[in-house]
Structure 1
Amino acid sequence: MPPQSHNILESGYWEEIKPDFKLPAPARAAQWFLDLIRPAFLTRAAGPRSKQVIRRTAYLDGLRGFAAFLVYWQHHQMWAREAIAADAIFENAFGYDNQYYFAALPGIRTFFSGGHFAVTVFFVISGYVLSAKPLQLIQAGEYLKLGDNLASALFRRWLRLHIPVICTTFVYMTSWHMFGIWTSTEHKSNWPDELWNWYVEFKNFSFVFRTGGEPWFTYNFHAWSIPVEFRGSIVIYTSLLALSRCTRNARLWCEVGLIFYFMYIVDGWFCSMFMSGMLLCDLDLLSANGNLPSFFFRLEKRKKAIFYSLFVISIYLGGIPSHSLDVQVLKVSPGWKYLSYLKPQAVFDYKWFYLFWAASFIVASIPRIWWLKSFFEMRFNQYLGRISFALYLVHGPVLWTLGDRLYHATGWSRESHALPLASWINIFPLSKAGPLGLELSFLVPHLILLPVTLWLAEIVTKLFDEPSVRFSQWAYVKTMAPSIKS
């Protein structure tokens, strides 16, 4: 029967009425393909904006999407300007080595070199989201349901994270040999050798207990964070189960203790970020139930000042100079001398310590600052959130293929690419006038690059990302014992 065809005038929009008969297989295949490649802006919305219910944590989706865009933007900024070593400007403090650029100013620098900040935000959000349902069950004393929830989540997590990586890198790798596409990455002489190398790299790259080797995956360097996501997920699931029978205060103190351990005792910076997300989620759920420790109620009158302060601190710390691993460089960076003494002994790469606080503070402050929360709940940020994983995975291959050629065409050539891309150099030269990072010859290629990247991210979301969620759920149900299913 046609769905809900009554009250069409009152509803304010027409719903598509689906016919009772089935289309022929070729027609269904054609319809599926059109739905796959059709960009979101050509798709009719399900209804007016006012009728859409915004979830409690929708701002986290928007924040994740915006963070994914910052990663995209930083990688393009650095890639196009390799010839002038712009990373030494973007990733050093404003005024370091007498370099004064608008793009390096505190706060402003987030929009040019905020990629690392964005990744740490991913980790804190993941800790928050992964622990939300289990913490609800813990606080409600539903321990049997908690076991079921964690079993399902743990079974599905590796598949959900790695299937999109497998699919996108396989397609990217195959395109080199199928279409003869040149990229700066070293290619094998033939596809079978490439396939074998891809397999060997991926199996080691995706092994959760890997203790050595390079953290990079040749077929998508940006995917380094995916195994880290999985390891952080294991930390969350383990901690949830271990702390499930604790009292409220004991659980909160243990969460704080684990954060301290991972950041100040051992170099487990990413574990601290996941645990920070879990702690923030625990506190939010307790707050919603009016069950926060009394300490927090004493801060209620200063709530606005506290969270605005945390947001400002977050933006400043999120701009941590990261061009060098040497903390002595940080000590002579303007605005960072005294902050450099806060670095724990355990942390090898100091930037992760400051980014831990930056990411934790911004995730904590956004829902308490109404205009920030509203910004991340905007439709475009929600759209970015929906495709954020795919955007993270595809922006690199687009940059290394189409982007590399367009930048050469508008005047941003790289010496190492001059010979293989000689036919692209300066075929459409544009002015490099303007502040660093906003030159006309850099911005114009994004009239093509950004829509193409977003469009491919939509396709990957529909073709690999969303199906990976359904497949992992299907696999879990298929492997369940009959007694559990009933």
Structure 2
Amino acid sequence: MSHRNGKASTWRHLGLSEPEPSSTGEKPASGRTIHLDGLRGFAALVVYWHHHQLWAHDGDGGQTIFEHAYGYNGQYYFAALPGVRILFSGGHLAVSVFFVLSGYVLAAKPLSLIQRGDFKGLVDNLSSALFRRWLRLYLPVICTTFTYMTILHLFRIRATPETKSTYLEEVWNWYTEFKTFSFVFRGGGDPWFTYNFHAWSIPVEFRGSITIYTVVLAFSRFRATARLCGHLLLIFYFLYIADGWFCALFVAGMLLCELDLAAELDETPAILTKLRPWKKAIFYALFAISLYLGGVPSHSSDLQILRDSPGWHYLALLKPQAVFDYKWFYLFWAATLLVASISQIRLLRAFFERPFNQYLGRVSFAFYLVHGPVLWVLGDRLYAAVGWARVSHATTCPGWIDRFPLPRVGPLGMELSFLVPHFVLLPVTLWLAEVVTRVVDGPSVRVASRLYKRLLAVDF
């Protein structure tokens, strides 16, 4: 992959369009951050695997095993081991990583402009980014959910959600749900969009983006040290004073970006430069900690369950009063330490720079949006056919039940009858992701950019 293509991929498919050039026409270098694209792609694959694991194992109690700690209630499974469990039920950690990466990438261009003292370029960049952000995030959601809704209704497919009696009623239901879902500052109600439950993270992504733009602008005239202190204070506020875990994740990404940019200028804070002799050991330790914390039990928000979980009793004492759902506190540290350590460990950087992970990064947003509909329509039927029973199969796909039963041999999460359907499901999901990337995702970036330029005043 060329540096030019790597740069475009890193920015556009981390949920962003490629940064606008500054007034000098310069753009940020790509080699330093290309691994972030691969990390995002791999995280999207983890989300895919997590959702399929929970869906297929819902009827046999496997869901609770995956999302509880190893040894909870005397249940010991390889898939629940610390570190290993992330590969089976690491979807929540993957979403947390998405937010850290978004904070990093959203802040990179503005921070580089601040370092150069180009405040006019900063205003231009923030104006463009803020205008385009909602369109860039929501146009793909609009297109994919409307298409999914239409296909379900026209072909009378029994899936998630249940179809309405007429297409007009279906469209109206889609519209009333979406208009509420699209208002990111709503104060209550259900966060789910029933035509794609996994899109819950999109409003969170937009709110986090506004947090980044606001903080960048508010801190733009500060000294570098003051900005770093400000980021740390905000993280403390969002974790320990208010329940703003997602804002903390975005700000953590911005903090990591600030530190990386400072290192390029040889302006790393003195307190960190003193640790350089132990750099390698420190980052390997942080990586190990992130893998452990990333496997936080997530089946319930009941803190007593965490206290009763082997290996988590004392860690449960660290949970702040402000955080309602405890898992997001531990996932904040896991995701932040993971992104920080991967950037500094050569073997991990090389892994995420490999072609397959880069490909996943290129289609990651579309992959995230389409994997749910594929699971609910095709996946549900294939699982029913090979013997994975769900109560809903009697009404959604009775003709598929046990059509091609396969033996349920192998460890939990790696059973033969679970793996075989993915020879169909994964290629289909990747193919649809490629189509949506080309037909919807890419054009949505260009539409937002062109609309912004068309609306600019003449003297700009």
TM over 0.5: yes
CA distance in 2, matches of 1:260, 1:476: 36
CA distance in 1, matches of 2:454, 2:396: 50
What is the 5 A alignment of 1:408-447?
408-447=384-423
Amino acid at match of 2:101: I
CA distance in 1, matches of 2:83, 2:119: 44
1:56 aligns with 2:32: yes
- Corresponding residue number in structure 2 for 1:271: 247
Match for 1:111 among 83, 87, 112? 87
Asked if structure 2 preserves the Cα contact closer than 8 Å seen for 1:68 and 1:388, the reply is yes
Q: 1:199-221 CA distances to partner (integer Å, 9 max, x unpaired)?
A: 11111111121111001001000
- Corresponding residue number in structure 2 for 1:459: 435
Asked if structure 1 preserves the Cα contact closer than 8 Å seen for 2:192 and 2:199, the reply is yes
SS of equivalent residue, structure 2 residue 140: helix
1:478 aligns with 2:427: no
Match for 2:260 among 284, 299, 303? 284
1:340 aligns with 2:316: yes
Give 5+ residue unaligned stretches, structure 1. 1-52
CA distance in 2, matches of 1:277, 1:196: 39
CA distance in 2, matches of 1:398, 1:454: 10
CA distance in 2, matches of 1:296, 1:401: 51
Which stretches of structure 1, 4 residues or more, deviate above 3 A after TM superposition? none
Asked if structure 2 preserves the Cα contact closer than 8 Å seen for 1:94 and 1:104, the reply is yes
CA distance in 2, matches of 1:55, 1:430: 46
CA distance in 2, matches of 1:257, 1:350: 20
- Corresponding residue number in structure 1 for 2:363: 387
**Cα displacement (A) at 1:266:** 0.2
Q: 1:414-442 CA distances to partner (integer Å, 9 max, x unpaired)?
A: 12222331110111110001101000001
Match for 2:135 among 159, 165, 168? 159
SS of equivalent residue, structure 1 residue 267: coil
Q: 1:10-36 CA distances to partner (integer Å, 9 max, x unpaired)?
A: xxxxxxxxxxxxxxxxxxxxxxxxxxx
- Corresponding residue number in structure 2 for 1:44: none
CA distance in 2, matches of 1:141, 1:293: 20
CA distance in 2, matches of 1:106, 1:459: 36
1:71 aligns with 2:47: yes
1:178 aligns with 2:154: yes
Amino acid at match of 2:285: S
Asked if structure 1 preserves the Cα contact closer than 8 Å seen for 2:153 and 2:164, the reply is no
SS of equivalent residue, structure 2 residue 68: coil
SS of equivalent residue, structure 2 residue 413: coil
CA distance in 1, matches of 2:382, 2:171: 28
SS of equivalent residue, structure 2 residue 266: coil
CA distance in 1, matches of 2:263, 2:396: 59
Asked if structure 2 preserves the Cα contact closer than 8 Å seen for 1:94 and 1:101, the reply is yes
Asked if structure 1 preserves the Cα contact closer than 8 Å seen for 2:103 and 2:252, the reply is yes
Asked if structure 2 preserves the Cα contact closer than 8 Å seen for 1:96 and 1:334, the reply is yes
CA distance in 1, matches of 2:179, 2:381: 31
- Corresponding residue number in structure 2 for 1:201: 177
Larger displacement relative to structure 2 (319-328 or 185-194): 185-194
**Cα displacement (A) at 1:178:** 1.3
Compute the RMSD of aligned alpha carbons: 0.9
CA distance in 2, matches of 1:371, 1:360: 18
- Corresponding residue number in structure 1 for 2:372: 396
CA distance in 2, matches of 1:199, 1:392: 22
SS of equivalent residue, structure 1 residue 371: helix
Asked if structure 1 preserves the Cα contact closer than 8 Å seen for 2:144 and 2:370, the reply is yes
TM-score calculated relative to the size of structure 2: 0.93
CA distance in 2, matches of 1:55, 1:458: 24
Q: 1:286-337 CA distances to partner (integer Å, 9 max, x unpaired)?
A: 0011011211111110111110010000000000001111111100100000
Match for 2:126 among 146, 150, 175? 150
CA distance in 1, matches of 2:396, 2:370: 23
CA distance in 2, matches of 1:339, 1:248: 33
SS of equivalent residue, structure 2 residue 76: coil
CA distance in 2, matches of 1:437, 1:259: 36
Amino acid at match of 1:349: D
1:329 aligns with 2:318: no
Percent identity over the alignment?
Answer: 65
CA distance in 2, matches of 1:170, 1:419: 24
- Corresponding residue number in structure 1 for 2:78: 102
Give 5+ residue unaligned stretches, structure 2. 1-28
Amino acid at match of 1:260: F
CA distance in 1, matches of 2:270, 2:381: 59
1:169 aligns with 2:140: no
Asked if structure 2 preserves the Cα contact closer than 8 Å seen for 1:127 and 1:273, the reply is yes
Match for 2:274 among 285, 293, 298? 298
Which of structures 1 and 2 has the bigger CA Rg?
Answer: 1
Asked if structure 1 preserves the Cα contact closer than 8 Å seen for 2:160 and 2:194, the reply is no
CA distance in 2, matches of 1:280, 1:116: 21
CA distance in 1, matches of 2:395, 2:378: 17
CA distance in 2, matches of 1:83, 1:424: 16
CA distance in 1, matches of 2:89, 2:301: 16
Match for 2:333 among 354, 357, 360? 357
What is the 5 A alignment of 1:13-92?
55-92=31-68
Asked if structure 2 preserves the Cα contact closer than 8 Å seen for 1:184 and 1:417, the reply is no
Amino acid at match of 1:313: I
